[in-house]
Structure 1
Amino acid sequence: MYKYFSIYFLVIPVLFLLNSCQRGREQKGTELPNIIYINVDDLGWSDTEVFGSTFYETPNINRLALEGMTFTNGYAGASNCAPSRACLMSGQNTPRHGMYTVANSDRGNTKLRRIVPTPNTTVLHDSVITIAEMLKTAGYRTGTFGKWHLGEDPTTQGFDINIGGGERGNPGKSGYFSPYNLKNLQAESEGENLTDRLTDEAIKFMEETNGEPFFLYLPYYAVHTPLQTFRRLEDKYAQKEGNEGQFNARYAGMVETVDTNIGKLLSFLKRTGLDDHTLVIFTSDNGGIRDISYQDPLRAGKGSYYEGGIRVPYIFKWKGVITPDSKCETAIVNLDIFPTLMELTRAKRPEQNLDGVSLMPLLKGRAIETRALYFHFPIYLEAYNPVTDRGRDPLFRTRPGSVIIDGKWKLHHYFEDDAMELYNIEEDVSEARDLVSEFPGKAAELYEKLDLWRAHINAPVPKDLNPEYDQNLESEKLSEYLISKK
């Protein structure tokens, strides 16, 4: 009897751990935590040492990971700036808020587009309840410091303080050093750096909260183009040996500057004691630009719905709740942030659909229910660089379609030709081997699930043919590309 009793108590914990992330700790007390959300712009999945880079130096992000939980299968809600941020702020997938890209949806040469893309919404309407508005119902003071890109003024959508945020998606020519090109930020000193300044403003905000719980949204403009950094950092990385796809000295300097400022934030939290009750979330809004920095082994980059365009780094740090130096392989998406913060703050649920789930169980070491992730992009995005992009074809980073990720399986469905691609991303994260012909049953199963989701969420599927499409020109352009590769 004692033998079986011992086996029972050995097996149960093992089974539990197989179905959850590494064990976390329960929050002590009832004090509402402060929340810092760091959203780096265009930082690729493998652009930090934590996620495998040997060229970029990120000691403070390493420190953050050592003190928190790293998610290895984290996704943005969309593959480029504005729609991903709309997904984050609203907790809603793209068909609900209508933002699929930046600016117009008919990107690229009109004669190469076979169908008419769905029109794009460029502003997150004030009728949508944002994370900031939700948190204010729980008594939070809110501030945003950096890129907004969802309209002209985030203070109409729940933020008490706005420094540097507006309709711009990048800081403009020479914009990383003062004088700035931003409506909501004036330089305090000649030649100051934008990333440094936004961090200083964020720290000032925390100093002035007077004990109120705060939500600090820190969406750095870096490391978005234009690439600009300190001369000393550019010189440093120019002398350092890079590797295939990661060797750009200016970009490396921008990554290091972001890392240095994250170190400032972490030091401030520790020095003031705020570290004891502050949740810090670090991530990126979408994949990196492959022409600047390869995300290998992931395929493609920003603007693509291959893994390099949507898989992004995530680190969560919460002293006393999250186990330090822990990892989680459960797939998450930025749609999950809204319900997570709503649960942990006990804020009032808004009267709108939410498409994510709370990550609180994962942060405390438990499991969440298995689910599929969905991405919808009925639009076109032109190529950055036909040679390096590694898209479906060299003419576009994205052609209209949808994606479902269900466990280890990922299905792409394209609207122009009704084609599908199937990948086992557990074994083939590079999406190099299309398995549709080998597993037609699995492809059909995922397609049915994807189609039901589209119907449920009322996702637009464009079908109208583009009268300006020129098949001969498309064939000519593709031939030119194939010749250039030889």
Structure 2
Amino acid sequence: MMRYLLAFVGFLVVSLASLLHAADRPNVLFIYLDDFGWRDCGFMGTDFYETPNLDALAASGMVFTNAYSCAANCAPARACLLSGQYTPRHEVYNVGTGRRGKAKYGSLKHIPGVDVLSPDIRTWAAQIHDAGYRTATIGKWHLSDDPIPYGFDFNFAGTHGGSPPKGYFPPHPKAPGLEDAPEDEYLTDRLTDEAIGFIDRNQDANWLLYLTHFAVHTPLQGQPDLVAKYEAKPKGDLHDHAVMAAMIESVDRGIGRIVRQLDSLGLREKTAIVFTSDNGGYGPATSMAPLQGYKGTYFEGGIREPFFVVWPGNVKPGTKCETPVIQVDLYPTLCEMTGASLPTGQVQDGRSLVPLLVGSDAWKERAIFWHFPAYLDSYSRIDGQRDPIYRSRPCSIIRRGDWKLHEYFEDGKLLLFNLKDDIGESNDVSIANADVTKAMHDELLAWREATGAPVPIEPNPKYDAAAESRAMKGKKKK
């Protein structure tokens, strides 16, 4: 009898400890924007767009000024984020698996990769769900037909599609939950409504909400009253696009509404808020200056992102971190914050940011990497890329400390930049710093071997060098 009594008491102690642990764990609001550039918000320096709610949130946490996506366009960036792995491991290299650009341009066959994140990969959502959280994804998914098998209890609007379903106004065919959207409903506002609804329904539980806005991805469509507001506003030296400004304000207003709801429910101090974007801004409508490049390029403007973390009681408000970090780091970070375990037997390429967030000095310099064995064709803007035909050609990139090395596989070109002195990557110093170039390249080669990164070497049988040369000269004349 005593043995059963002791066992029961032990059960109560363990259960009570589990409940206390759950009470101490934060809810997580993870806001992930689409094509939102490094300088597209007030706290990062815009002189035209208005983001008062984002600015207030950023001021209440830690802003990372050297934060990166793992890819310069949507699908591979999201695959890296959800898996915690660099592109060679999950093999999502581009949006789709086909060649992006005319077949006669580009001397190599691209590596097609895959266009679905393997369901065998355990996401951080799955790990956190198994740790007792209710999980939701609201908005863009882009990694498979259905996000539910990847660890989410609830999906709203997420499909394999990468663009807003037929734009920001109805109809929205084949988008879960949006089939009967009111005629004048703006998509960004609806996603905000759904986010608030999820929080309301789960206010007595631990929850994680992945609010992955379609905004500010094309098509560029703003609410008419906001577009008119910015058309009447004096242009900035950095930014001046009225429709982009209207789209950004809609996102910002929605974030303000969510934060006010957290306050009204008494959940603000119990909720960690993470904010970032999937890749650089849309070049024809915004600017990341002084960074070179935009979405689709592996210059800083294509991969450096606005990023902050608010974690009441853990992150000191009004702090900044200059340490280079990358989005594979968010997998171990989110798991550590929520008390979730890391998956057994699954490689993690990132490092938890918790030591940086809490002000610990337990952080050693490390290199971060990008691998893009494909082609990404140009659009109307061409001033921020190596050539006028492609935003990116097959390449690998490494950053360590202030140094950043590009390797391009078609011509074997190595470009070395010191970002401390040359954040705009305008001065290749590879020859003047041959020892650094060699050391960085050796480390990049070792990383590719360790990850099994495929390098395109097979000639493109449809390549027409003369046609490519004519096209490049023609575009440069425009």
For normalisation by structure 2, the TM-score amounts to 0.93
Structure-2 residue corresponding to 1:472: 466
Aligned counterpart in structure 2 of residue 439 of structure 1, from 426, 430, 433: 433
What are the superposed Cα offsets for residues 34-76 of structure 1, whole Å, 9 maximum, x if unpaired?
0110001100000011101010000001110111111101000
Task: Say if 2:105 is the partner of 1:95.
Answer: no
Deviations 1:319-362 (A, max 9, x none): 11111111111111110110011222221221300000000001
Aligned to 1:184: 176
Distance change >3 Å, CA 416–CA 188, structure 1 → 2: closer
Which position in structure 2 is the counterpart of 1:452?
Answer: 446
Tell me the distance in 2 between the aligned counterparts of 1:241 and 1:185: 39
Identity between Structure 1 and Structure 2 (%): 44
Matched, 1:194 2:187: yes
How many angstroms apart in 2 are the aligned matches of 1:292 and 1:145? Answer: 25
Q: Check if 1:130 corresponds to 2:140.
A: no
**What is the CA distance between 1:386 and its match in structure 2?**
4.8
User: 2: distance between equivalents of 1:386 and 1:196?
Assistant: 30
Paired residue for 1:25? none
Partner in structure 2 of residue 403 of structure 1: 397
1:216 and 2:209 are equivalent in the alignment: yes
Aligned residue in 2 for 1:12: none
* TM-score, normalised by the number of residues in structure 1: 0.91
Q: Deviation at 1:29?
A: 9.7
**CA distance in structure 1 between the partners assigned to 2:473 and 2:290 by the alignment:** 27
Point out where structure 1 has 5 or more consecutive residues left out of the alignment: 1-27
Q: What is the match of residue 341 of structure 1?
A: 334
Q: 1:357 to 1:101 in 2, by over 3 A?
A: same
- Contact 1:82–1:102 (Cα < 8 Å) also in 2: yes
Q: Aligned-pair distance for 1:112?
A: 1.0
The answer to whether the 8 A contact 2:172-2:181 is kept is no
The residue aligned with 2:364 is 369
Matching of residue 327 in structure 1 with residue 320 in structure 2 = yes
* SS of corresponding position for 2:468: helix
What is the identity, as a one-letter code, of the residue corresponding to 2:369?
A: Y
Q: Which piece of structure 1 moves more, 38-47 or 234-243?
A: 234-243
Instruction: Tell me, in whole angstroms, the C-alpha distance in 1 between the residues paired with 2:366 and 2:161.
Output: 35
Structure 2 equivalent of residue 64 of structure 1: 57
| Counterpart mapping for 1:73-472 below 5 A | 73-173=66-166, 175-186=167-178, 187-244=180-237, 246-350=239-343, 351-367=345-361, 368-388=363-383, 390-472=384-466
Aligned position for 1:4: none
Q: Distance in 2 between matches of 1:347 and 1:131?
A: 9
Q: Which moved more, 1:187-196 or 1:450-459?
A: 187-196
8 Å CA contact 2:367, 2:398 repeated in 1:
yes
Q: Deviations over 1:370-395 (max 9, x none)?
A: 1000000000000012544x101111
Other structure's SS at 1:203 match: helix
TM-superposition CA deviations, 1:401-444 (whole Å, max 9, x none): 10000000000000111111000011111001011121111111
Question: Alpha-carbon deviations, 1:125-177, whole Å to 9, x = none?
Answer: 1101011111012101000100000001011111000000011101143x212
- Please tell me whether the aligned partners of residues 245 and 292 of structure 1 are also in contact (alpha carbons under 8 angstroms): no
Query: Could you say if the C-alpha distance between residues 470 and 92 of structure 1 is closer, same or farther in structure 2, counting changes exceeding 3 Å?
Result: same
- CA distance in structure 2 between the aligned counterparts of 1:245 and 1:323, rounded to whole angstroms: 30
Task: In structure 2, list runs of 5 or more residues that go unmatched.
Answer: 1-20
Output the amino acid matched with 1:308: G
CA contact (8 A) 2:129 2:151 kept: yes
8 Å CA contact 1:171, 1:181 repeated in 2: no
Q: Say how many residue pairs are matched.
A: 455
* RMSD between aligned residues: 1.4
Residues 271-327 of structure 1, C-alpha deviations (whole Å, 9 max, x = no match): 111111111001001111111101101111111100000000001111111111111
Distance 1:202 1:103 in 2: 29
Deviation at 1:105, TM superposition (A): 4.3
> For 1:473 and 1:244, how far apart are their aligned partners in 2?
38
Cα gap change, 1:244 to 1:475, in 2 (>3 Å): farther
Secondary structure of 1:348's match?
A: coil
Contact 2:47 2:238 in 1 (8 A): no
Q: Secondary structure at the match of 1:279?
A: strand
Residue 30 of structure 2 corresponds to residue 37 of structure 1: yes
User: Does the CA-based 8 Å contact 2:283-2:381 persist in structure 1?
Assistant: no
Could you say what secondary structure the match of 1:110 adopts? coil
Deviation at 1:268, TM superposition (A): 1.1
**Aligned partners of 2:382, 2:442: CA distance in 1, in Å?**
34
Structure 1 outlier segments of 4+, above 4 Å:
none
